[in-house]
Homo-oligomer: A and B are copies of this chain.
């Protein structure tokens, strides 16, 4: 009985080889009597750059070095080699650790004698924050995502549509999922896209709205690949979407609630997150188009010559008054370079002016047909999205 997929076995061999070759540099240094040193791009805000051309957050040129023979750096050096060793061992043993596992696996107390002969103790790490940072350093150092090292994580992204994929050793027809959906694997780089018969990709922030559109046959009728991130997207869903963009060259749209939290979800998909900018190179989807819900969908806009999708009485019943923290968050968004485009400035100012939020569910309340057969297709056809 074949327990583990052949795809995983290949991925494992590749990861072992890269890890071995990158870290054997340290062995070479030791043999040559040099100070073992690891040089890693700095993952700090001051070394995070918004690349205007590629429309991505990327790491800048600053590097840090960790060497064994430096008292200030030796703890981090120890942690880095310890973690690399644990990951290597997990790969060799056909395991699929999570970052939580890796924290536990490495957590122990090192006992040693100081120069004066006194017995000293030092914990490898105390909190997962520390071991997580080390995993990120290793990702940057070896230029592989943790998923390539078969480190798994919780995954909540789902997809349905006219596409077949190969995952593991199976071929899966995403148009034959019944009322359920295909839950994307945590290592989406191992997926192969096979037959695709779709004209666009639609990401829906909310799982419950995804369920409704799926059930009503939206993706069949409009030749769509329908995806939900179920809230803030996880890494696998982001990477999956990026690959759809790169490889299928389909337009990709997203609908979120009309509030700063929803717009931030769009921005994480598109640009990446500021604290984890090193991932953006492979997880962000710069081509992503924001379809809605926009404040101008709710109120219309005379400068855009746009009529609202909601009537006065619908607005009265559906709108949620923005809270102080929504206002604050909206102002923060305006500070990000990638929101400093005319259309976004217009929309966010309209939000600040009206102080009004709207959930996607308010649109399905007008009738699922309205969302499915009017709002989404009309906005796509007329190009009423922000790219």
A355 to chain B, nearest CB (A): 19
Interface segment out of the listed A17-25, A42-50, A153-161, A277-285: A153-161
Bound-complex Cα distance A269 to B353 (A): 47
Counting chain A residues whose Cβ lies within 8 A of the other chain, the interface size class is 35 or more
Interface contact A154-B215, CB-CB below 8 Å? no
Given contacts A101-B364, A104-B317, A167-B178, contact A215 B96 (CB under 8 A): yes
A133 at the interface (CB under 8 A from B): no
Bound-complex Cα distance A208 to B154 (A): 4
A205 to chain B, nearest CB (A): 11
Given contacts A176-B172, A178-B170, A221-B1, contact A211 B155 (CB under 8 A): yes
Q: Which residues of B contact A98 (CB under 8 A)?
A: 208-209, 211-212, 361, 364
Interface contact A155-B104, CB-CB below 8 Å? no
Q: Mark A147-186, 1 if CB is under 8 A from B, else 0.
A: 0000011111010000001111111100011111111111
Minimum CB distance partner of A4 in chain B:
B217
Bound-complex Cα distance A93 to B373 (A): 14
Q: Which residues of B contact A93 (CB under 8 A)?
A: 367-369
Q: Mark A345-387, 1 if CB is under 8 A from B, else 0.
A: 0000000000000010110110111000000000000000000
Interface contact B359-A100, CB-CB below 8 Å? yes
Q: Which residues of B contact A177 (CB under 8 A)?
A: 167, 170, 172, 182
Q: Which residues of B contact A367 (CB under 8 A)?
A: 93, 95
A5 at the interface (CB under 8 A from B): yes
Interface contact B180-A183, CB-CB below 8 Å? yes
Closest 4 CB pairs of A and B: A167-B178, A3-B217, A104-B365, A179-B185
Identify 6 residue pairs between A and B in the complex whose beta-carbon atoms are under 8 Å apart, listed by A's number: A1-B217, A8-B215, A97-B212, A109-B316, A154-B207, A178-B185
**Which A positions have Cβ atoms within 8 angstroms of B?**
1-5, 7-8, 93-98, 100-101, 104-105, 107-109, 152-156, 158, 165-172, 176-187, 190-191, 206-209, 211-212, 215-217, 220-221, 230, 313, 316-318, 359, 361-362, 364-365, 367-369
